[in-house]
Structure 1
Amino acid sequence: MAGGWSKDGAVQEQIDSTIEDALERARSELPRGESLEYCEECEAEIPQARREAVKGVRLCIKCQSERDKQRSSVSGYNRRGSKDSQLR
């Protein structure tokens, strides 16, 4: 059931769009290619077990953890919000 300015299914479309955007961002960040033996950032040796477990790894665990912390601040806010969400 639509309410106000929104059409039927508008909320679900917004949810689906947010999920698709998050999946696209995550897929674009997946490592590709051959794993490095030394970290791109700190030049520490990357253990063999990590190189085998994560294909295309480019960072050591410490540097990867720091990068993940920085990226966790990305908002899940969908900028394609409906007029209804803007009026509230």
Structure 2
Amino acid sequence: MVDWFDRAQELEQRQRDQAIQAQLRQPRPVGPSLTHCQDCDNEIPPARQALGGMTRCVPCQAGHEKRKRT
């Protein structure tokens, strides 16, 4: 017998899976990374640069993504 709690868990899992798939469909940055952030001109850490295609430091990228959501 399926109760409301089981249905809520299934719905939550389905929404989580959809959010993950939507994120995976987003284009990944490619090419060489910048050495300094395009917004604040602070240095981009070497570990972040190694990911490729990075143009912003973490705080600036977080702010950029937050502005895109609203």
**TM-score, structure 2 length as denominator?**
0.59
The alignment covers a number of residue pairs equal to 49
Structure 1, gaps ≥5 residues long: 1-18, 74-88
- Higher share of residues assigned helix: 2
> Over aligned residue pairs, what C-alpha RMSD do you find?
2.1
Asked whether the 8 Å contact 1:31–1:58 carries over to 2, the reply is no
Q: Aligned AA for 1:59?
A: R
The answer to which structure, 1 or 2, has the higher relative contact order (CA under 8 A, 6+ apart) is 1
Q: Which runs of 4+ in 1 moved over 2 A?
A: none
- The match for 2:54 is 57
Q: Give the TM-score, by structure 1 length.
A: 0.48
1:40 aligns with 2:65: no
- Give the superposition deviation at 1:32: 1.9
Bigger radius of gyration: 1
Distance (Å, rounded) in 2 between the aligned partners of 1:58 and 1:37: 8
**Structure 1 residue aligned with 2:66:** 69
